[in-house]
Structure 1
Amino acid sequence: MASRYDTNKVCCSSHPDAPLIEDYRAGDQICSECGLVVGDSVGGPENPLLGGSDLTTIIGPGRGDASFDSFGVARYQNRRTMNSSDRALINAFKEINAMADRINLPRTIVDRANNLFKQVHDGRNLKGRSNDAIASACLYIACRQEGVPRTFKEICAVSKISKREIGRCFKLILKALETSVELITTGDFMSRFCSNLGLPNVVQRAATHIARKAVELDIVPGRSPISVAAAAIYMASQASEDKRSQKEIGDIAGVADVTIRQSYKLMYPHAANLFPQDFKFATPIENLPQM
């Protein structure tokens, strides 16, 4: 709620002396201390994390005597009044929003990633790591926690940061915040990978069945779900009319050919028990590639 200490000046009820940040797109004025929208809003709902990507670093103009000191100089001036911590948050929120836009992630994930970044930033948990790397890792974690996981390669593709650095930040954030992420399963990626490879539903269903059975039978112990999914896609496609190479699948899944090969080698001897019973083979099991 806005609180008025004189007839002209709008200020935050909890932080009346805090400078306001003006979000000119939404028509809001936002408290730089807590992120509360205190001006008349014509935009969306209040955002407690400084409003995300639409924020500018412009301080709202003063509108009363309280906005000026005894010499007539404005108390709150552009940029110089915005501290470096606020600027870092705003820039990170913009980067998270931009990355999410590139891979069509919903607002709920952006909000979760923003919140994770703010926790890390306020706790000063990852000193020495770039804010862009932390932002990328926060987006990766948010996707996992919201049940729509993306691979490190997919986040890397829309980020300025290497896959290795995102992975390092990911582990550090989980440790620093004492949080966790849902375990990834092979099914989390099947639909997207098969769609990107142009494979028909019959191959996708077979690959899903193969991967699930391989896990249930403990054929692929210690192998990552992504590598098992990729190997299952390779096996199913090679048995169908719509064959895809390990390289094609690896490029989509973000794993190396050798990684797919290692999982496939474990699965190949059990192939007869992995395919769905109603699968129509274009290439018989005995003619599938051997590694």
Structure 2
Amino acid sequence: MSSKACKCGGTEIDIDRARGVSVCKKCAEVIEDTCIVNEAELTETSGGGIQVVGQWVSNDDLRGSSGGGGMMGFNARESRQITLQKARRGIMDIAGSMRMNQHCVDAAFKIYKMALDRGLSRGNKASHLLSACLYIICRTEGTQHILLDFCDHVDADISILARIYLRLARELCINVPHTDPSLLIPRYAAKLDFGDRTNAVSNTALRIVQRMKRDWLNIGRRSSGLCGSALLFAARMHNFNRTIQQIVDVVKISKATIIRRLQEFEVTPTAQLNLQEFDTIELEE
């Protein structure tokens, strides 16, 4: 552990003395790649004597080696490899738990490397950045994962992952189709006058969409229809009397679509729960 702090604000620094590398545990940024320890390590010789491990490095030696060549250049390359290895393991862990294939892992890792080269890893928690890289692949490949799935896995607020994901897509010039209900529902909810309960209603609607996905109700359905029906159901669970027409005016879909989505959802086990049960009972997939 080190007393140094990273630019992201993290203070937990992992020091690998064997490689001379310091890495921030929060964002995986390499803090220092030429750590020189001013402690003397002693070892016992075969004859019973004591000798110092390593050699003395003077200030002049340090100044003379500051050009970045030789061993320092090697350490920099090695530290980058350490960072990339940790990132790949992290991506594989997240992808494995969410049943994503190797192609998604490889593609997300390429995005991470581009983000690292552009300095986009700074200020972001490592798990959040890796999730955002994987989520971009989900959107470009058209998988059934939504942003809320990643939030649950890494225990992150949806607004944080959305911010990182949108920044990556913008800075790396990746054209991502924005069809995820997780990104649309908060915007629609803000237009339905729920007051200080807007976030609560929005979160319930997001969970409803997640349950719809488990029941395969999202297959072949437009995101706007799922959002509209989920918001109407969530509003009623929170005792807001919103009409179908009010939802139609905000989401810009037909009444018939809203009614069909509601009818499909009403026959699922989730629709039989009240708000308290919905928040506490986890139905099996």
TM-score of Structure 1 vs Structure 2, range by shorter chain: 0.3 to 0.5
Q: Normalized against structure 2, the TM-score is what?
A: 0.44
Q: Larger helix proportion, structure 1 or 2?
A: 2
Q: TM-score, normalised by structure 1?
A: 0.44
